[in-house]
């Protein structure tokens, strides 16, 4: 127990440090991006210089992404669970990536199988996980492919089960052992933090992530999230009393 306490204390201080560093990096980045944007406007008639300015903007965006994900990973997950209406929640998650999917000629379909109408979890955090799964699925899938999100609750259980299935490249057994490792990526410009962060978030909910993947055929990633099926009177009382 003592070691556990020590570990969580250390993680908390690493989180604080990362937050401080991220803050110090983000401010100058935003001014660099401002100046790069200024140059891209100023040189819009000179293709060479314009190209350089645009690369600067893209690289700054990438740094921002990496810093953001690092922060997300280093910070201990703190949950704000709520009762969530699943239909609009899922719609919203799909909307966040629908542009990207359409650009690549990939369709996303949602299937509700015996799903509850509401469930109790942290909607911001779980939508972040779904976003990561969708982006990975889009990146793995060729134009013309499809992605399914399946929402379901096994009979008699109070777990919410969300599965994202793609018809993409699949994951080799060798890589499968590493996909949750922070910084593990097979992409030229990946950060390798998406699944590491997702794992932390699902774990904080007391849930788990399961993966089925066949190389060359596709991947199915399942989130199993324990959740109370219905809000009980006891919950209501707690909520009403503001606890
Ligand atoms: P990143 O997307 O930045 O590479 P992630 O943590 O999101 O980092 O994913 C880690 C690795 O897992 C990816 O680089 C990829 O090799 C593999 N991966 C994750 N999801 C899929 C998927 N749906 N299909 C194929 N490979 C995947
Ligand atoms: Mg990713």
- Which of the listed residues 62, 141, 173, 185 should we mutate to test ligand 1's pocket, taking the one with most ligand atoms within 8 A of CB? 185
ipTM above 0.95, yes or no: yes
What does the pLDDT look like over 53-74, one tens digit per residue? Answer: 999 999 999 898 888 888 888 8
DSSP the chain: -HHHHHHHHHHHHHHHHHHHHHHHHHHHHHHHHHHHHHHHHHTTT-HHHHHHHHHHHHHHHHHHHHHHHHHHHHSPP----EEEEHHHHHHHHHHHHHHHHHHTT-EEEEEEES--SEEEE-HHHHHHHHHHHHHHHHHHS-TT-EEEEEEE--TT--EEEEEEEE-S----HHHHTTTTSTT---STT--S-HHHHHHHHHHHTT-EEEEEEETTTEEEEEEEEE--SS--HHHHHHHHTT-
What does the pLDDT look like over 27-54, one tens digit per residue? Answer: 999 999 999 999 999 999 999 999 999 9
Q: Whose CA is nearest to atom 7 of ligand 1?
A: 194
| Atom nearest to 197 CA in ligand 1 | 6
pLDDT at 238 over 80: no
């Amino acid at each position: 127990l003592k070691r556990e306490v020590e570990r969580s204390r250390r993680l908390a201080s690493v989180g604080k440090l990362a937050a401080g560093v991220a803050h110090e990096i983000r401010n100058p980045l935003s001014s660099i991006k401002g100046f790069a944007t200024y140059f891209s406007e100023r040189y819009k008639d000179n293709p060479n210089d314009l190209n350089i300015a645009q690369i600067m903007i893209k690289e700054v965006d990438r740094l921002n992404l990496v810093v953001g994900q690092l922060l997300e990973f280093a910070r201990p997950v703190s949950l704000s669970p709520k009762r969530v209406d699943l239909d609009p929640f899922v719609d919203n998650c799909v909307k966040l990536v629908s542009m990207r999917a359409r650009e690549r000629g990939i369709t996303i379909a949602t299937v509700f199988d015996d799903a509850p109408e509401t469930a109790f979890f942290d909607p911001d955090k779980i939508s972040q996980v779904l976003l990561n799964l969708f982006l990975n699925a889009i990146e793995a899938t060729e134009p013309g492919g499809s992605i399914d999100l399946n929402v379901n609750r096994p009979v008699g259980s109070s777990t919410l089960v969300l599965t994202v299935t793609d018809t993409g490249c699949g994951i080799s057994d060798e890589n499968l052992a590493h996909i949750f490792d922070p910084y593990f990526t097979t992409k030229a410009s990946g950060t390798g933090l998406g699944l590491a962060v997702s794992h932390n978030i699902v774990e904080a909910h007391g849930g788990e992530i399961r993966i089925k993947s066949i190389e060359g055929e596709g991947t199915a990633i399942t989130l199993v999230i324990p959740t109370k099926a219905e809000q009980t009177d006891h919950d209501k009382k707690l909520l009403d009393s503001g606890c």
